[in-house]
Structure 1
């Protein structure tokens, strides 16, 4: 049974194992509230998962340890379990979806775990781990639907309460629900006036949909680069705890997540993965039903796949008005490119790519399309450039935003 005493016990066990991560004020992030960042992205193994996995493994009997342990994970729980098993000298097998970032797979192997890649999403790797567990007698370490794991994650709430006196709300990412269950249970047990909000990716909103329908649902698919929260079905324990202790759940789009990652990197010099950025995304884009309050956003992890950083940055730049592209219909004659470039230059825009097309069969013989990609300051800057281009007689037929 989950109790506040268990959370305090977890805190005692973890005291000399995990980092007490900093809580920092983020004055440079634009939103309707005052944001504080709980930097679990700087935790050992790069995420909060070490808390729950280490505490769970510390509670195992000698017989359970002798059987070896197994877990399923998209990457962060895998590393937490692998490191905890390595320190306890316990044989460890981790089932991971084959879509998991290579960096997370290799990091898990680096902690000595035997990694089994499974075709599909996290839920498929869970099914494989469950089958191997029954076949070989392993001890299963669940990534979220376990009260010891949940208690370990709840130690984050104890740290937040110790680090900031005046808290109005805490915003937490949700995948299977272990993190928010531990934080919400602990917060509501100690200070029920503090609001706890959850955030999911719109394309992986299993808990959001389940709470809305008041039943545990399995969504058909998950399709988000926030792989750490790409879960099709919430846990039994976590669904009940979220239903009882969480005030509301919101969703954020892929572009909003990308914009949050970009903002955290640029304004706060912090690297977070997609799952780690959703709380900030919800706050940045004013999803919360509060204003001018002290809001703590949990940055749950920083293990972003370096292979997608460029794409994430591009999406973030587009959404925040830092980059755009115009397709302009022109008469194909000398001086047109100079005229377009002059307007953009006079407005302080920076042209980064130009694409010329005069082969579209639907255009006039003497016409062409000019696609110009421009670095800009914000959305107002984009509108000013568009206005001045049109004032000079240039016809914008398409804009990418």
Structure 2
């Protein structure tokens, strides 16, 4: 959206679920890139919902169909373009595709996520899953009857995989270029810096999958991340046991493309990640989750705003020696400035900006670890 004229205005149709009325409300949302102003009208009442207001919290790059934006603690989903001008101007600027980190490359997930971000992609949805035979067979149904089908299904059900929705201009073709040739040996010979050349083994165990067209991408995304809440994709892999603890990569760190670095650091420390899933929290969810801090820390209100300001990624981690306090020490002090002085190698020291935007939430009280893991991976996941 660089170089736009002063009068440029983009229009979207947005939806917000009103928890008080238990209704999905529709709005017409205008975005003015010149000064990052927004204006919102209620489509049902045809009245102004929000007068034109400067709102720099949301970056221009976040205005695309399918994204969830936070407007004064309301999670609004941009459902479609509101006029032909916006469709023509922005319709091809961002594209989504589907990716899987396969079971053979799960140990390289941090490196692969880093490569994804460095190539200009955004990770808009992510989930670790363990496919059943029925799910793998359904996903690869187009290959049913081919000689390699049974081996493929057996391989894809042999361990955990990570499903991703990726976004950037020309995402489908760019992701396939980054992957390299299907056969790992060919990839190593012709595209040595590609993901399959670096992390693959053969034609089946080739690290990652990528959609071959926009139509395939939408179908595959719907399989793993169904838009209809009544449909269920593959479940998450959370243990929900007493030997794990919770980390949350906060929205600001996700927006700053730090997810891959944080996952890589957790892996490099020898800690086992047992579940990953992205969430967009409503303000009420963030308030409920952070209630233990209410009246205890002065930043509580700002913490709620930050946690509900965009996509966050919950990570279940096996607690070192079964002690969540050891993982808390790895994350570091709540204030990144203190962390930089006392524990410079901790996650908050490396990636935090402030006490509120400190990159990673972790369970503070040992007894709360099972409750926090359950809140995200069972309650919110329903």
For the superposition of Structure 1 and Structure 2, which TM-score range results when normalised by the shorter chain?
Answer: under 0.3
Q: Which has the higher strand share?
A: 2
What's the TM-score once normalised by structure 1's chain length? 0.23
Q: Which has the higher helix share?
A: 1
What's the TM-score once normalised by structure 2's chain length? 0.24
